[in-house]
Structure 1
Amino acid sequence: MVWRSKPRDKGVLPTSEPRSADEGSGGKPGFRAHVTAFIREFGLDWFVLLLFLIIAFVIDKYVPDAGGRTRYFRLLPGQSTSPQMEAFGHPYRKQIITFWASAGLDVGIPALFIGLMELFTRRSFVNFARGMLGAIQSVITCCLIQIILKTFAGGFRPSFFEICKPQPDGPGAGWDGTWYRWTICTGDPDKIAWALESFPSGHVATSFAAGVFLSLYINAKLKVFSDYRPSPLLILFFFAPLTLATLMGGAISADMSHHSYDIIGGAILGSIVALSVYRGLYASIFDSRINHIGLSSSRRFVRKPDYDYVEYDTHYGFPVFTYYGKSY
């Protein structure tokens, strides 16, 4: 099946714009035109994402860990086989992948994939900018949500007891007086605060936010799941970001920074955020006819029944595209 391009209406995306005075030779936009278009189209989005980062930082640094501080744990002196000790008595280990390494991977891997795809396909700055906006928006939005959840829900990490170093000075709560709160901890205050923020896993949440968004982007741009039988290499390319995100969950599990339910919760959160962000930026998630078309904040997308936007054929399971009009 071949999709053919039809004439475009001004109110329908994508649309061709009149040539700007800033265009360079050959009818191609100059550098100033690219910058102006970028700011006009995406500037407000980046400003809002910056506000999200500031809010996340303020909550993380200055709002007490309400969820973890209100929880009780059971302390049975001389007993190391209770369910509480099994859950929270693991040895403390430094994280295999640090926060900054995770942040770098969450941004760097999408930048590499999206950059390479644009370099070898259409070489569109707008496509690259929109794709990176989506990947970073997924990560930052997920970061803000998981920080809120950690602060107001939280929980004890697997190495809580070793970090806490509990020293009860009297009977605790409960009918047998064996239930205590974080106030009996004598360990490092910063580590204790970290040990009270178990749910969900931020590393896994942001990794899945970036990975799922990137996989959706790959599917849309390369039409992996469309009306032809794709090459196994395309299938592998689609699953690469998801595999990397799953490996992040494996690293977090190996260093015992989180419980299994923290990791699963983070993966679900990141996936939902990525799906929502992708649909907010593109005309569809799974409809292969239009899921590569970016939406605009200044005009609606209206698709007519006979309206198609790209023509492609296949060669040994790989799509060969013919593009029309302006890149969106």
Structure 2
Amino acid sequence: MPVVSNTNPQDRSKRGHFHFGLWLRLHGVDLITMAFMGALGLGIYEAPPAPNRSFPVYFQDGEVVYPQFAYPLRKEIVPIYAAALIAFLVPFFFFTLFQIRRRSLNDWLTTTMGLLKSLITAAVFQVFLKWLIGGLRPHFYAVCQPNVQANTAPSGTGFASLIYDRSVCTGDIDQIDDSLESFPSGHSTAAWAGLFYLALYINAQLKVMSAHNPAYWKMILMFSPLLGATLISGALTIDEFHNWYDVLAGAVIGTCTALVAFRQTFAAIFDFRFNHVLLPRSTSLFRRNPDSGAGIRSLFFTYHVTTEDLPVTREGGWGFGKEAFIGAPGDATVLVNSGQSGFGGGGNELVV
């Protein structure tokens, strides 16, 4: 395998020429797939609920069966479009801001693509669940306006004729469709898919969790996206657009897609030695990689993912050949020559 020394300060200043056409060929299949998934998600989002969900309204004595679904319809504190924009634009702002030091178009584009992978995958996942499973929103009865009278003999189906379907609803059809698709929360899914990805990125670039004790403000900055995602999610239980379990499910989906998308983009998630290292892509359907080692080395230098790929921070010796790698988890140790503790001192080398 080609080996690139990381101990020569002059190597760190070398910059290859970025070829946007080559980047498109390498990532073209991903872009097409993302467009397809986005169109699929939008189509499912616009489709009416698939199942014919049943629900009770009143007990035989006239008491409402599920008062937790009887809240009034309120205005959303955070509209869905605002949640989606925040989930993309806030991380994108930091990706762009950090380019002041990183200065790599490949890094900027590929990191943003990782974010979009997380957001799009999470969105399609949750709209499928909404469409095929769904559930009643807390304001369902107010939107449904069921044509069922209290303190009268039940006229539905099932045991004691207590169960009805949406045919008894007299409200707005679009609002009824929406009120039947509560699970999982789209707001929560988008917020965690985007902002958790950002938290991982900040941790990697500023080395919040590493072998060096960093400045406290870095920890605060890392947790800020998580606070934002929690506030967006929690607002849904205040305006009564979602049940708590809808919010939790959305957070789990978004967190999972963020973890996978980040690991696809970078060499590690929590291993501070490598979680800032952008993984190279050498082949795709539209770009066959040369078989020779020289060809591979040339391609990697073109994308400057070797000697230039340093985090934003310079604390702890980063960028000066004195990075500390002791006590790190073994997530990406294959990137380091066997028997060596890391690169950045004593002639150690990064294998690419």
Q: TM-score, normalised by structure 2?
A: 0.75
Distance 1:234 1:28, change over 3 A: same
Distance 1:319 1:244, change over 3 A: farther
- What do residues 76-116 of structure 1 show as CA deviations (whole Å, max 9, x unaligned)? 48745x4512x100011121111221221111101111111
- What do residues 198-222 of structure 1 show as CA deviations (whole Å, max 9, x unaligned)? 0000000110010111111111122
Distance 1:173 1:132, change over 3 A: same
Any residues of structure 2 matched to 1:31-46 within 5 Å, and which?
Answer: 33-46=18-31
| Residue equivalent to 1:126 | 106
1:234 Cα deviation from its structure 2 partner: 0.6
**Identity percentage of aligned residues:** 31
- What do residues 103-139 of structure 1 show as CA deviations (whole Å, max 9, x unaligned)? 21111101111111122x2221111111111111111
- Give the gaps of 5 or more residues in structure 2: 6-10, 284-288, 290-295, 297-305, 322-343
Distance 1:77 1:193, change over 3 A: farther
In 2: Cα distance, 1:71 partner to 1:280 partner: 41
Any residues of structure 2 matched to 1:169-184 within 5 Å, and which?
Answer: 171-184=155-168
Query: Quick one: which amino acid aligns to residue 74 of structure 1?
Result: V
- What do residues 242-271 of structure 1 show as CA deviations (whole Å, max 9, x unaligned)? 111111012211111000110111111110
| Residue equivalent to 1:20 | none
Q: Helix, strand or coil for the counterpart of 1:235?
A: helix
Q: Helix, strand or coil for the counterpart of 2:319?
A: strand
Q: Helix, strand or coil for the counterpart of 1:291?
A: coil
1:179 Cα deviation from its structure 2 partner: 1.3
In 2: Cα distance, 1:230 partner to 1:269 partner: 31
1:298 Cα deviation from its structure 2 partner: 3.1
1:244 maps onto 2:224 in alignment: no
| Residue equivalent to 2:201 | 217
Q: TM-score, normalised by structure 1?
A: 0.80
Q: Helix, strand or coil for the counterpart of 1:200?
A: coil
In 1: Cα distance, 2:320 partner to 2:106 partner: 18
Distance 1:102 1:313, change over 3 A: closer
| Residue equivalent to 1:142 | 122
Q: CA RMSD in A?
A: 3.1
Q: Helix, strand or coil for the counterpart of 1:321?
A: coil
1:280 maps onto 2:264 in alignment: yes
Query: Quick one: which amino acid aligns to residue 237 of structure 1?
Result: L
In 1: Cα distance, 2:111 partner to 2:15 partner: 25
| Residue equivalent to 2:66 | 84
Query: Quick one: which amino acid aligns to residue 66 of structure 2?
Result: Q
- Give the gaps of 5 or more residues in structure 1: 1-5, 10-15, 17-25, 302-307
Distance 1:237 1:318, change over 3 A: farther
Deviates more, 1:122-131 or 1:227-236: 122-131
1:73 Cα deviation from its structure 2 partner: 2.9
Q: Matched residue pairs, number?
A: 291
Distance 1:319 1:274, change over 3 A: farther
In 1: Cα distance, 2:255 partner to 2:313 partner: 30
- What do residues 299-323 of structure 1 show as CA deviations (whole Å, max 9, x unaligned)? 699xxxxxx96678987x6765349
1:161 maps onto 2:141 in alignment: yes
Query: Quick one: which amino acid aligns to residue 269 of structure 1?
Result: I
| Residue equivalent to 2:41 | 56
What is the aligned counterpart of 2:212 among 228, 237, 241?
228
Distance 1:34 1:313, change over 3 A: closer
Distance 1:99 1:318, change over 3 A: farther
